[in-house]
Structure 1
Amino acid sequence: MNSKFNNLSTKRRSIYALGDNLSQTPEEIFSLVKETIKNSPTAFNSQTVRAVVLFGAKSDKVWDIVADALQKIVKDPDAFAKTKAKLATFKAGYGTILFLTDTATVHHLEKEYPSYADNFANWAEQGLGGAQQAVWTALAENGIGASLQHYNPLIDDAIHQAFDLPEEWQLRAEMPFGSIEAPAGEKTHLDDNQLFKLIK
């Protein structure tokens, strides 16, 4: 069987050599992110995914916050120098997407459907993962590189304060994106027998 989706998925890779040499405008990228997330499924159509798309100095601020937070816990100067160099590759991109979960909706559903209460947090994570995958692939389709980072909850308070985010929006991941300045490395896979089972 042919699959345009699978062909497109091969373009979705973790790109760490990012630049700001994109032809798309911030408005165009913002629109792409919005439409992609709106069409991504969530349990009970709960729409728990939230996204903040940052450009320019605002995007840089995210990685300055990460650097400040890590400097407080990484005491070895050499180790921090390597960390700071890694963060610089994210900061060099065109922008950053913050992915968050609306915990108010999760808690509302827990009360509304007590029989499923234990599941809603997990289902929100599944919805978030689907949205992240979809956005990442949509960016790749447009020749935009990205990677997915997780410096939360270390940076949660500072991010919320810096960008005046609602308290109930829980930060879950950060996606720096930009022009692809160097390709991703080789992708390896486990043997199919370790991953899949066909039962007829």
Structure 2
Amino acid sequence: MSAATTYLKDALINRRSVRKVGKSASITKEKIQEVIQTALHAPTSFNMQSGRIVVLMDGEHEKLWDIVKETLRSRVPAENFEATVERLAGFREGAGTILFFENQETIRTMQEKAPSYKDQFPFWSHQGSAMLQYAVWLTLSAEGIGASIQHYNPIIDEEVKNVWNISQDWSLVAQMPFGEAKEQAGEKAFLPSEDVVKFF
């Protein structure tokens, strides 16, 4: 097995959800830009490249999690809110958050160019987003940066667009807080392989 294959296998196996992250001087804007540029090699159907990314760092990142907390305050039962705040603090204390969007204008354009596949483009868009998210996450993990995928959309969508002046055509799909890992991920359980994979 080649060194490159071993490295890839290690990256795949070691990528885990790290929900408590912290700041680190080594996690710079330049490093995150390099991670994202690498991840943009992830494939998309018809090469439509509908994914859009917004990176929030420092005070802007903290502002996002303050928005999430205040949005949830009126939605989470009072007896559960303290646990919610504690969970959100694990994200807020990180170095930044990557917001993943899908550009609906791109999807509409593709539907016009290939009308026989019109109904499929929204599904393919989300498949492309998932691959982009995974590519970013895998690359962050390979760089020793902890991350997790969160989904506080759609309840925060409008405020996020207003605060950061984001196009209404961009649909928020996921949030990825990242930073220095402040927890050890637990063991991951798997379904029996024979229930998931079939050979004929």
TM-score normalised by length of structure 1: 0.94
The answer to whether the Cα contact below 8 Å between 1:48 and 1:101 also exists between their aligned partners in 2 is yes
Alignment of 1:70 onto 2:86? no
Instruction: Give the Å deviation of 1:24.
Output: 3.0
What is the SS of the residue equivalent to 2:14? coil
Asked whether the 8 Å contact 1:145–1:179 carries over to 2, the reply is yes
Per the alignment, residue 26 of structure 1 pairs with 29
- Aligned residue among 2, 14, 39 for 1:11: 14
Aligned partner of 1:55 in structure 2 is: 57
The aligned residue for residue 46 of structure 1 is 48
* Superposition pairs of residues 178-189 of structure 1, within 5 angstroms: 178-189=179-190
Q: 1:41, CA displacement in angstroms?
A: 0.5
SS of the equivalent of 1:171 reads: strand
Answer yes or no: is the 8 Å Cα contact 1:22–1:178 preserved in 2.
Answer: no
RMSD after superposition: 1.2
Contact 1:14-1:145 at 8 Å conserved across structures: yes
**Structure 2: tracts of 5 or more residues without a match:** none
C-alpha displacement of 1:77: 1.6
Partner of 1:166: 167
Q: Distance in 2 between matches of 1:85 and 1:125?
A: 30
CA distance in 2 between partners of 1:125 and 1:151 (Å): 16
Q: What number of residue pairs does the alignment pair up?
A: 197
Letter of the aligned partner of 1:148 in structure 2? I
- Name the SS of the counterpart of 2:158 in structure 1: helix
TM-aligned CA distance change 1:173 to 1:68, over 3 Å: same
SS at match of 2:53: strand
Supply the distance in 2 between the matched residues of 1:161 and 1:35 (Cα, whole angstroms).
29
The Cα of 1:103 is off from its aligned counterpart by 0.6
Q: Is 2:164 the counterpart of 1:153?
A: no
Q: Deviations over 1:144-171 (max 9, x none)?
A: 0000000101100000011111111100
What amino acid is aligned across from residue 48 of structure 1 in structure 2?
A: S
Normalised by the size of structure 2, how large is the TM-score? 0.94
| Identical aligned residues as a percent | 38
Q: 1:22·1:179 contact (CA, 8 Å) conserved in 2? A: no
Following superposition, the deviation at residue 113 of structure 1 comes to: 1.1
| Paired amino acid for 1:149 | Q
CA deviation after TM superposition for structure 1 residue 35, in Å: 3.1
Q: C-alpha separation between the residues in 1 aligned to 2:171 and 2:37?
A: 18
The answer to whether the 8 Å contact 2:71/2:156 transfers is: yes
Contact 2:27 2:179 in 1 (8 A): no
CA distance in 2, matches of 1:52, 1:183: 27
Please state how far the C-alpha of 1:86 moved relative to its aligned partner.
0.6
> 1:84 and 2:71 equivalent?
no
Superimposed CA distance per residue, residues 114-161 of structure 1 (whole angstroms, 9 cap, x where no aligned partner): 110010000010100001111001001110000000010110000001
